[in-house]
């Protein structure tokens, strides 16, 4: 397919995009049929799977345009949210290290978001 497209003056990117868009669904169906991975799934399960796929794609699209410090702040915030949720659920207790870590990260995020002073 690539060589045919190049002979017709179609860009290589378009040839690859066409191949991927046509072959990916076919490959997914074949894998699901051969592995019986989908056995026992109801519509709610498929909804959850599609939701996670969409969330993953949306997250990667947002993170693609963020710089390294923002990515670090986002991962630290996610860890603290999970830690606070586990404390609320009664799985974990509040430790001084957790409190100090949350405090330092919050101060760093606040300091990073302050616009610089203009003279």
Q: What does pLDDT average to in each consecutive run of 10 residues of the chain (119 residues)? A: 54 72 78 71 80 78 76 82 84 87 88 83
pTM, rounded to two decimals: 0.45
| pLDDT for the residue 38 | 65
CA quadruple 65, 108, 85, 97: dihedral, nearest 10: 140
Q: What CA–CA distance (Å, rounded) separates 105 from 83?
A: 14
Buried b (16+ CB within 10 A) or exposed e, 65-80: eeeeeeeebeebeeee
If we measure between CA atoms, which residue out of 79, 83, 107 comes closest to residue 94?
A: 83
What does the pLDDT read at residue 12? 66
Give the per-residue pLDDT at 118.
82
**pLDDT score for 9:** 62
Q: How far is CA 64 from CA 13, 17, 59, 67, in A?
A: 20, 20, 8, 8
For 68, half-sphere exposure in the C-beta direction (CA atoms, 13 angstrom radius) is 0
Query: Domain segments of the chain: what residues?
Result: 1-38
């Amino acid at each position: 397919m690539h060589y045919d497209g190049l002979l017709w003056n179609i860009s290589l990117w378009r040839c690859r995009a066409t191949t991927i868009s046509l072959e990916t669904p076919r490959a997914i169906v074949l894998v699901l049929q051969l592995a019986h991975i989908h056995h026992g799934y109801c519509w709610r399960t498929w909804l959850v799977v599609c939701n996670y796929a969409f969330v993953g794609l949306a997250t990667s699209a947002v993170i693609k345009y963020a710089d390294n410090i923002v990515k670090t702040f986002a991962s630290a915030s996610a860890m603290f949210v999970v830690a606070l949720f586990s404390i609320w659920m009664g799985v974990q207790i509040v430790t001084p290290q957790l409190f100090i870590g949350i405090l330092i990260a919050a101060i760093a995020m606040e300091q990073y978001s302050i616009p610089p002073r203009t003279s």
